[in-house]
Amino acid sequence: MALFVEVARRKSFSQAAAALGMPISSLSRRITQFEAAVGLRLLDRTTRKIALSAYGEAYFAQATRLVEEAQRSFDDLIAQAKGPSGFLKVAAPSDFWVLQHLSGIVSEFSQQHEHVHIHLDLRASQVDLVRENYDLAITTEEPREASLIVRKIGDVENGLFAAPAYLLARGRPKHPHDLAQHDVLLPVAAASTTWQFSRDGETVATSVAGRISCNSLSLARRLAVTGRGITCASLINVERDLDSGRLHPVLSDWSLPPTSVYIVTTSRLLPAKARRFIDFVTKRLNPVFAGAGRSAPMDQQLRGIDQIIPARACA
């Protein structure tokens, strides 16, 4: 049953065999024997792909629950004896806040759970949790697959930022519509896009454009610091640039939709190592997100910047 679930989930004998650590020939033979024992074809095989038969679809849903419950019971038994253990593979975005905060959180978790080996894979885009054998992913993009389990762990405040040299040369926008006269570092591969701003119950949608676009938040931040345009960024990612004066806030009295942060898994029935890690990360990241840029010194600094140079999810 467990072997069938692994093959059906991955739609591949080779990937399932690699995950299980067994030869493809042995896995194929065991599945064939299993089908012969029940007298039904569960998998339709061709030279190019594997698909579930109608019987296979029905059995897969039931078998998955049983296999996951059995695995969780086994993990809980081991966890009671020596604590959570095993290899935990986690995907996370390459944002600055991940490098700054998640590294310390993972280090602390590792110290408290010596039998868990954690592998962090920083990715610019979403991963295939099943095919790439991840236990979970931390992401700022809500997955489209309905089968995935998504847990929201917080919101990150967004804003517009630019270098002092850019604002001195081009002026400071006073209203979202003024962005039409500025170079905006776009986060999408397009010549223009639309952003939505809000202030005191008022909502404004405005078109923004620029000569440079990139899907890397780190690169967009660097371009903004060197004066190439106005960037939309999470406040938590540019706090140090604001402190040092490398970046100044733009249209700080207007709000942009926040960026939500999620933890994604393939099942609600998780092994002890994954459950413990999710609880640990959630508790420590929530105050980080809630406190980003809300300290008194930072608020005072932002007000001071607006006085010096008169005149916040981005997609």
Can you tell me whether residue 295 is helix, strand or coil?
coil
pLDDT for the residue 136: 92
Say how far apart CA 168 and CA 171 lie, in whole Å: 6
pTM higher than the cut 0.85: no
217-225 and 235-244 helices, crossing angle to 10°: 20
Segment 265-275 shows an average pLDDT of 86
pLDDT band at 292 (very low <50, low <70, confident <90, very high): low
Statement: residue 29 has pLDDT above 70: yes
Helix ranges (DSSP H) in 193-315: 217-225, 235-244, 272-291, 296-308
**In a 3-state reduction of DSSP, which class is residue 155?**
strand
Question: What number of CA atoms fall less than 13 Å from residue 27's CA on the CB side?
Answer: 20
pLDDT in tens, 64-86: 888 888 887 877 777 766 778 88
Q: Please list the alpha-helical segments (H only) found in the chain.
A: 2-10, 13-20, 24-38, 54-82, 96-97, 103-112, 164-170, 217-225, 235-244, 272-291, 296-308
The whole-number pLDDT of residue 300 equals 39
Q: What is the mean pLDDT of residues 188-200?
A: 87
Categorize the per-residue pLDDT at 170 as very low, low, confident or very high, splitting at 50, 70 and 90: very high
Residue 295: per-residue pLDDT: 42
Give the pLDDT score at 245: 94
Note the pLDDT tens digit of each residue in 104-119: 899 999 999 888 999 9
Average pLDDT value over all residues in the chain: 84
Angle at 16 between CA 11 and CA 22, to 5 degrees: 150
